[in-house]
């Protein structure tokens, strides 16, 4: 099985666990704090990933670091990932879990690329239009890309909505190059 599928399965199990116990927000904050520590601390990441370190040592460290701050059920989930040798997937499990929470809450994350910093009113209007189009609450991440020339490019998941001036000019160029010109009668 592919690692992303495994991470998704673990995230779904964690989601079910969270719904039945302390709640999605509490579990979401907890798994995110674990993922953040893994991302920000190379020694911690290496410790968890090293096969020469025993599972009991890894579990002891997890208990020491997170035992007081995480719900018991989430702590047990982390310990099970060590038992199953899936602790290297914790960052991906956290991402997948957050995606499930967002989907459950009717939220969608979108990346909006613009040529320059845009006024808040324009961005709010664009976000509202996207929300209506996608039928979800839009959580935008704005990125400035001067190569667009103008317009906007929106990415959500695997879907790209390209309303950039660069794309429009490229399309017009293709149309002009493939257009049949009327023949000259000489």
pLDDT at 32: 92
Residue 85 falls within a domain, yes or no? Answer: yes
Task: Check whether residue 145 and residue 174 sit in a common domain.
Answer: yes
Task: Check whether residue 125 and residue 92 sit in a common domain.
Answer: no
Task: Check whether residue 29 and residue 43 sit in a common domain.
Answer: yes
Residue 183 falls within a domain, yes or no? Answer: no
Q: Find tokens 């209007």 and name the residue.
A: 125
Task: Check whether residue 13 and residue 30 sit in a common domain.
Answer: yes
Residue 185 falls within a domain, yes or no? Answer: no
Q: Parallel, antiparallel, or unpaired: how do β-strands 107-114 and 151-156 relate?
A: antiparallel
Task: Check whether residue 64 and residue 122 sit in a common domain.
Answer: no
pLDDT at 108: 87
Distance CA 115, CA 109 (A): 20
Q: Which of 65, 84, 103 is the last residue of a domain?
A: 103
For 77-133, write each residue's pLDDT tens digit.
999 999 999 999 999 999 999 989 988 888 888 888 888 776 778 888 888 888 888
Residue 186 falls within a domain, yes or no? Answer: no
Q: How many Å is the Cα radius of gyration of the chain?
A: 24
Structure-block tokens of residue 128: 């509202």
Residue 143 falls within a domain, yes or no? Answer: yes
Residue 115 falls within a domain, yes or no? Answer: yes
Stretch 140-162: mean pLDDT = 84
Structural domain of 115 = 107-178
Residue 15 falls within a domain, yes or no? Answer: yes
For 40-83, write each residue's pLDDT tens digit.
999 999 999 899 999 999 999 999 999 888 889 999 999 999 99
Distance CA 13, CA 11 (A): 5
Residue among 146, 159, 102, 153 at smallest CA distance from 126 = 153
**CB burial readout 108-120, b (16+ within 10 A) else e:** bebebbbbeebee
Residue 13 falls within a domain, yes or no? Answer: yes
Write out the E strands in 81-136.
107-114
CATH of the domain at 82: 1.10.520.20
* 94: three-class secondary structure by DSSP: helix
Q: Which helix (H) or strand (E) segment is 13 a member of?
A: helix 3-20
Confidence of residue 185 (pLDDT cuts 50, 70, 90): low
For 18-28, write each residue's pLDDT tens digit.
888 777 888 88
Overall domain count for the chain: 2
pLDDT at 184: 57
Between these two residues, 1 and 16, which has the higher pLDDT value?
16
Task: Check whether residue 10 and residue 98 sit in a common domain.
Answer: yes
* 182: three-class secondary structure by DSSP: coil
Q: Is the pTM of this model over 0.85?
A: no
pLDDT at 55: 93
């Amino acid at each position: 099985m592919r690692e992303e599928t495994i991470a998704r399965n673990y995230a779904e199990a964690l989601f079910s666990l969270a719904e039945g116990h302390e709640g999605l927000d509490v579990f979401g904050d907890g798994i995110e704090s674990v993922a953040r520590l893994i991302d920000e601390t190379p020694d911690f990441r290496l410790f968890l990933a090293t096969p020469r370190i025993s599972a009991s040592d890894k579990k002891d460290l997890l208990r020491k670091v997170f035992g007081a701050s995480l719900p018991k059920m989430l702590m047990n989930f982390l310990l099970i990932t060590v038992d199953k040798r899936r602790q290297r997937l914790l960052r991906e499990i956290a991402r997948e879990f957050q995606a499930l929470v967002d989907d459950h809450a009717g939220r969608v994350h979108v990346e909006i690329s613009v040529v320059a910093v845009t006024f808040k009113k324009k961005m709010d209007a664009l976000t509202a239009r996207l929300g209506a189009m996608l039928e979800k609450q839009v959580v935008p991440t704005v990125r400035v890309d001067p190569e667009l020339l103008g317009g906007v490019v929106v990415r959500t998941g695997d879907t790209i909505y390209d309303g950039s001036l660069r794309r429009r000019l490229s399309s017009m160029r293709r149309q002009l190059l493939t257009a049949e010109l009327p023949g000259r009668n000489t």
